[in-house]
Structure 1
């Protein structure tokens, strides 16, 4: 089995999660370095992981020759790191969202294509065991034809859009959005129409309900982590369960299941790597996706285009809200006013344009939140 060298750029919270999973994939990955503009953080993380730490990505690439760069800096910097890595022939897996705006995402996609490297997006939601099982439930026809969906998400709503798209299995064609500021928070609602006739009602609430979605069909529904089947005698409810087994004294995700007759089961194909919970499984499968793409020269399992589409729907909802609820057709054909506002905030925050030459951008410390949206 070929072993690839991987380096992590960014050493904040998301990096910590990935750095807990990478050692479990030791048969296919060797961690060779970490990089952060903050020297103290780079040094501390490098010492903890027993690798070398760097403050300059090009130096890291020159010294360590990684096959893959995992980007965990804030999304404002994703296109910057991607262009540098791609220009050096290094494959990329980037944290979510793919980028702040679609023009920035397109720079990433174009750079990967130009330099013939693979680009994967570390979208975790659809990779959770229970979400994999939900897709099997839908594919098995248990809830009949999907008619509509509801989504509540408190932050990073592209994750929720990803979950819905995975289950609806159709492309969005039109959105309507509404938003307003409530105190220090922004509240938004969107209606998304899909090509197959399914409609989604989405809300980002100001009070924490939790991230939650429902899929309604003609013969049943998936409500959170429960399957509801409509029978002549009433509604039958089945819990969607993730089952772990003990390996070497630790929990490992074995499968997800719903005990209908017959049961529907999703088996964890990576259980040999000792992945302990839903997020661990998601991170492991993200890393395995880019590994397989490189070694077998195939497309990543999710890929940049899907990551871009998740973000495009959310951008369109916010553009509609900016324009008083005007319907927005998809796909978008030009840069939206909402994105122009983000580009303007980018220039204000960092003192450079997001489309300046990479040399002007590569030494910026990109925080996790970066340029954030507020209803206006």
Structure 2
């Protein structure tokens, strides 16, 4: 079988730490080209992994023979780049949030459908071993219905993660459009939908810029959500967890509680009302400090090889995005938003 020819648009932190090395270690992939407005960055990556460096993604689409692309750029570019690649007949893996408006998300889904290509969104939380295990436990039915929950994602902010530090696009409203909510909150709305196999029907958002200076993107959000099943919970995103970052979820169910990533971070703890306690150590969660393979790239490649639509589809990405957009609307209007 000939290898899947891939180009990467954007050579920042997520591309360098996840997408590019994970494509490189996949035997079915050939990395063909890299685009970044900072051409030196694209050149450094091309020197390390092979392939050609470009300043402009449109030149890649014109000049290279490809099968698929990863879009790893600032949020405002996700839609135009995805649509251009889909229109060129290429499968697309786009970073989250898939878009900055619901309309953009819909246009991306349409472009992929029209061109008969796959669109996948990089919601890696679904693939982390503790999260997969927790879903399996919930689906076994032993715990009964999920009644209430809290899920949160917090770290010290993009300064330490982005290659540009404090000068990163993450802090520029015109490029990011949303801060901690687009970076972390959308992961959590996607995760809770996946975990509970349920949809958010109402959201109230308290979103603000509490501590980061010289930026007008949000650095904190706490949202209250009601699920279709009736379960209610909180969803939190923060860029100011300067100590004690968090990617934990707790679910209170009819027959006990499930705690994910609250202890050692790699554990699922089940405490049943009958007094039994079970601990599952199932493999690490990826953190900014400790990159473990996300599974997203391999999943995307597998989809293309087996001609199977990705489970983390554009439609899924859009539903998760709408929760976040609803939270912003709630913050703006001071009312609860129905989705």
Q: Secondary structure at the match of 1:182?
A: coil
Q: Secondary structure at the match of 2:323?
A: helix
C-alpha distance in structure 1 between counterparts of 2:44 and 2:220, whole Å: 38
TM-score computed with the length of structure 2 as normaliser: 0.79
C-alpha distance in structure 2 between counterparts of 1:56 and 1:190, whole Å: 38
Q: Give 5+ residue unaligned stretches, structure 1.
A: 244-252, 257-276, 331-376
Q: After TM superposition, list the pairs within 5 Å mapping 1:227-242 onto structure 2.
A: 227-232=269-274, 234=275, 236-242=276-282
C-alpha distance in structure 2 between counterparts of 1:180 and 1:72, whole Å: 26
8 Å Cα contact 2:130/2:268 also seen in 1:
no
Q: Which residue of 1 aligns with 2:248?
A: 212
C-alpha distance in structure 1 between counterparts of 2:313 and 2:290, whole Å: 20
Q: Secondary structure at the match of 2:25?
A: helix
Which structure has the greater CA radius of gyration? Answer: 1
8 Å Cα contact 1:3/1:30 also seen in 2:
yes
Q: Which residue of 2 aligns with 1:161?
A: 189
Q: Secondary structure at the match of 2:89?
A: coil
Q: Which residue of 2 aligns with 1:293?
A: 303
Q: Give 5+ residue unaligned stretches, structure 2.
A: 155-179, 213-217, 261-266
Q: Secondary structure at the match of 1:226?
A: strand
Q: Secondary structure at the match of 1:48?
A: helix
C-alpha distance in structure 1 between counterparts of 2:239 and 2:23, whole Å: 35
TM-score computed with the length of structure 1 as normaliser: 0.72
Q: CA deviation at 1:76?
A: 0.9
8 Å Cα contact 2:207/2:220 also seen in 1:
yes
Q: Which residue of 1 aligns with 2:152?
A: 152
Residue 197 of structure 1 pairs with residue 198 of structure 2: no
C-alpha distance in structure 2 between counterparts of 1:278 and 1:145, whole Å: 34
C-alpha distance in structure 2 between counterparts of 1:107 and 1:315, whole Å: 17
C-alpha distance in structure 2 between counterparts of 1:178 and 1:108, whole Å: 29
Residues 23, 179 of structure 1: alpha-carbon distance in 2 compared, 3 angstrom cutoff:
closer
Q: After TM superposition, list the pairs within 5 Å mapping 1:226-305 onto structure 2.
A: 226-232=268-274, 234=275, 236-243=276-283, 280-282=292-294, 285-305=295-315
Q: Which residue of 2 aligns with 1:274?
A: none
C-alpha distance in structure 1 between counterparts of 2:279 and 2:43, whole Å: 45
8 Å Cα contact 1:128/1:279 also seen in 2:
no
Q: CA deviation at 1:205?
A: 4.8
Q: Secondary structure at the match of 1:201?
A: strand
CA offsets 1:96-130 (integer angstroms, 9 cap, x no match): 11012212222211221222211111111111111
Larger mean CA deviation between 200-209 and 142-151 belongs to 200-209
Q: After TM superposition, list the pairs within 5 Å mapping 1:114-129 onto structure 2.
A: 114-129=114-129
Q: After TM superposition, list the pairs within 5 Å mapping 1:312-327 onto structure 2.
A: 312-324=322-334, 326-327=335-336
8 Å Cα contact 2:220/2:240 also seen in 1:
no
Residue 24 of structure 1 pairs with residue 15 of structure 2: no
8 Å Cα contact 2:24/2:49 also seen in 1:
no
Q: What is the number of residues matched between the two proteins?
A: 293
8 Å Cα contact 1:149/1:214 also seen in 2:
yes
Q: CA deviation at 1:89?
A: 0.9
Q: Which residue of 2 aligns with 1:268?
A: none
CA offsets 1:158-214 (integer angstroms, 9 cap, x no match): 111222111111111111223344344644322111111111222335741422211
Q: Which residue of 1 aligns with 2:71?
A: 71
8 Å Cα contact 2:143/2:254 also seen in 1:
yes
C-alpha distance in structure 2 between counterparts of 1:187 and 1:13, whole Å: 22
CA offsets 1:120-154 (integer angstroms, 9 cap, x no match): 11111111111111111111123221111112223
